[in-house]
Every structure is written in structure tokens, then in C-alpha cells.
Structure 1
Amino acid sequence: MATRAPVVRLREAGQPRGLAQRAGILLHGRSRTKQEMLDLATGLEIGGTRWIAPYADQGLWYPGRFMEPLESNEPFLTRSVERCHRLVEDASEGGRLGPNQLFIVGFSQGACIAVEYALRHPGCCAAIVVFSGCLMGPPGTHWSPANGKTLQGLRVFLTGSDMDEWIPEERTRQTAEVLRNLGADVEMHVYPSRPHIVSNLELSEARSFLASSFAAGQPIVPGATP
């Protein structure tokens, strides 16, 4: 297997650098496009946001399935997570935007990267929107944030389905339970008979989630003590 780093291209929309009130990183699914994620962002209707949509080489953030041993998706998995971290750091504009003004939206494979990022870099963003994604690794994996931290202050919008051909409902529910036990505030929705897409209903509910996360004042700073 080749070990070259993914080539990631970017597109942006919304408010420009220097004027945005917050920034959202958009992570596409397997073999999907960054334009699809920008279209999704339009449906989220979060004003004042700088949207940043990277694209992974060949449309893949990692080559295998999410339930394979983590090492089987390396080095691509770590490189993709670290690429996400560099995008979050750049989105902060040198500290003009704090972690409480940064969030990640992912679909499918991109949603799994968002969850993995939250574990490896706790405290770096206020919220993640996980459309049809979950924790990575086989059954029996022990999940915990890096450096002995918790996910206190992180808000998570997590979706799944009882009919999703890629993400079993059981793993969606397990992801919610694990993230809650690690301190995250998780809003989970499991949609009956919904295929592997982002439905209009979950887009609407994600819109409400983000609106409440960034309404009037700022959300809790990730990692802060209440």
C-alpha cells in the first residue's frame, strides 16, 4: 500500500477570513465532494460563518472500513486527523477566533474523522456535527481522549439510522454512550428507514443544534471546568 500523504485541496464559502464570527470545517464522505459539503453548509444557515471544505486525495480520508483495527488505516488516518487539526488551527486566525467559535461538520467517513479528531485533540473546538459517523475501531476498542483529558464542554450532534448500510445503529448508540461518559454533551438522533444520506429532517435538526450552540453569548469553552 502506498504511504504518501493525502493531497488535500480547499474551497471556502461564507464570511471571509478576518470578518467571520466563527469557522466551520466541512469533512466530506468517501468518494464525495467538497462542493456537496458546501451545499450542505448552505442548508445549515449559520450566519457569520467562514466555511472551510477540504478534499482528500482520491476522495478518501482513510482506505479501509471504520470497524477495522485502527492500525490498518494508518498512516492515512493519523495524517487526515492532523490535517483537520491544521485546518482548525488556521481557522482560529492566530487566536482571533477561540475554540468556542470553531466547529466541525462531517458526513460518513468525514464524520468518523471528526469524532477521531475530538478524541485526539480535546478542547480544540466547541462542537462537532456527526452525520452518519461514529467511533472508529473494532468491537472491544478502548476509547479515551488524548493526554488524560475529558470531552467536557464539547457539544455533539450525532445521527444514524436503523437502515444505514454503512453504520450499524448499535455503533451509533455506542458512540453516543461513550462520548457522554467522556464528558461530551451529546444530542443523538436515530432515524427510521433512512438510507446513508443527510435527510432534510436531520439537516433541520442540525441547524437548530448549531443555532443553540452559538446563540447569544458563547458556548462553554471546551475543556473548561464548569
Structure 2
Amino acid sequence: MSKIFQAGKDLQHATKVAIMIHGRGGTAQSILSLNQVLNLDEFAQIAPQAPGNTWYPYSFMAPDQSNEPSFSQSIQTIHGIVQDLESKGFSSEQIYFIGFSQGACLALEYATQHAKKYGAVIAFTGGLIGENIRPEKYSGSFDGTPVFIGSGFKDPHVPVLRIEASEELIKQAAGDVKVLIFEDYDHTVRQEEMDWVNKNILS
């Protein structure tokens, strides 16, 4: 069971909610600290803490079974948060997903498995999860949801080819996808990414 941390506006007074998903080895607090650089003042911010600081044990492109049962449990954690928000009266359009690295992969994977009109999906270095992308896993329509993916062109964990394949599938599901690939090897959230997201999604 993941512990859930909150920051920003109280849910009772918020009109938008950011579900923020940390990377491998990270913490809920570490991803919540992005509220210092992203335009999240009007958001309630919710961040689950992964057991042992990791959402699944191996690479997001490892054979599917090797990441079970952790992967399915992690998807269910996010689903539980979404269901709780919906029970409190939030529409999908008021829900935004923000993730870094392993958390970015999980954000993209959950949202694409449950595609609908969300506020946005913001993935700082991530792609859809699985040894291969299997379109039959995904259903629904993003109905124009803004989807951002940023990464380095030789990121040590997330190949550009997987980002491009993810972009293609999300576009087929009617996501409004923006991909920014940077000429570096850094596994990080870049200022340019945050600037683009602030201007085009969170403004």
C-alpha cells in the first residue's frame, strides 16, 4: 500500500489536481518539490510513495512478467487515486499527471490504458511500458489531451525510439503530443522542459 502525500491547495478548494509520480530511487517529496518551478499554485498536488522507492524492479522495457506484481500494483495505486478524485467530484479534465523517469513511464502508461480527456499528461523522460508496445493494452480516446514528453537524445534509461513509438500510439488515441528531445545525455528535468510546460500547459 502506497502512502499518499499532499501539497498545494486543499482538495476542497482546488479546481485542478496534479498527480505527481516520482522516479526510481526518488520520493513523493522529491517530485512534489517541482511545485517550486512549475506553475502549480492553483493545484492540489498528490504524490504517492512507491514501496522501497521503486514502482517496478527492472527496466520499463524488461520482459513484462519480470516487473510483476509490482507493475500492476503501481498501476492500481494510480487508479485508486483517480477513482478517489472522481468520487470527490473532480472530472478527468481537472486531473493532470506529472512524472519523472520511472514515474513518467507510469504516468504515460496509466493515462494511455485509461485514455480520456485529462487536463494533461506531463512526462519528463518516459515512454510506454513493456518489452514491446502492445496496442491491445490501450483503450479510450484522449480527445485532444495535451501530452508532453521530454528527454535527452541518448538518455541512459529511455531510448528515443521508444519515445517515438509511444508518441505515435498516443497520437492514434487522439492525444495532442509534444515531444522535445535535447542534445544531451542527462537524466534530469531540464529548465527548457519546465519553461515549455509552464507556458503551454500550466499557464
1:55 aligns with 2:49: yes
Q: Which residue of 1 aligns with 2:85?
A: 91
Alignment partner for residue 35 of structure 1, among 29, 37, 49?
A: 29
Cα RMSD between the aligned structures?
A: 1.7
- Gapped runs of 5+ residues in structure 1? 1-6, 213-226
Answer whether contact 2:20 2:31 (CA < 8 A) is retained.
yes
Answer whether contact 2:15 2:94 (CA < 8 A) is retained.
yes
Q: Does the residue aligned with 1:44 lie in a helix, a strand or coil?
A: coil
Q: Which residue of 2 aligns with 1:130?
A: 123
Q: Moved runs in structure 1, 4+ residues, more than 6 A?
A: none
- Gapped runs of 5+ residues in structure 2? none
Q: Which residue of 2 aligns with 1:221?
A: none
Q: State the Cα deviation string for residues 154-179 of structure 1 (Å, max 9, x = none).
A: 22011111121111122112211221
User: Once the 2 structures are TM-superposed, how far is the Cα of residue 144 of structure 1 from its aligned partner?
Assistant: 4.3
Change (3 A) 1:41 1:92: farther
Aligned residues: 203
Answer whether contact 2:125 2:150 (CA < 8 A) is retained.
yes
Q: Which residue of 2 aligns with 1:185?
A: 176
Amino acid at match of 1:180: K
Alignment of 1:1-226 (within 5 A): 7-92=1-86, 94-95=88-89, 97-123=90-116, 125-139=118-132, 141-144=133-136, 146=138, 148-211=139-202
TM-score in terms of structure 2 length: 0.92
% identical equivalent positions? 31
Answer whether contact 1:176 1:186 (CA < 8 A) is retained.
yes
Q: Does the residue aligned with 1:201 lie in a helix, a strand or coil?
A: helix
User: Once the 2 structures are TM-superposed, how far is the Cα of residue 88 of structure 1 from its aligned partner?
Assistant: 1.6
Aligned equivalents of 2:61 and 2:5: distance in 1?
A: 30
Aligned equivalents of 1:152 and 1:21: distance in 2?
A: 20
Aligned equivalents of 1:86 and 1:30: distance in 2?
A: 20
User: Once the 2 structures are TM-superposed, how far is the Cα of residue 14 of structure 1 from its aligned partner?
Assistant: 0.7
Answer whether contact 2:117 2:142 (CA < 8 A) is retained.
no
User: Once the 2 structures are TM-superposed, how far is the Cα of residue 53 of structure 1 from its aligned partner?
Assistant: 1.1
Aligned equivalents of 2:202 and 2:162: distance in 1?
A: 27
Aligned equivalents of 1:124 and 1:16: distance in 2?
A: 23
Answer whether contact 1:130 1:157 (CA < 8 A) is retained.
yes
Q: Does the residue aligned with 2:134 lie in a helix, a strand or coil?
A: coil
Answer whether contact 1:46 1:210 (CA < 8 A) is retained.
no
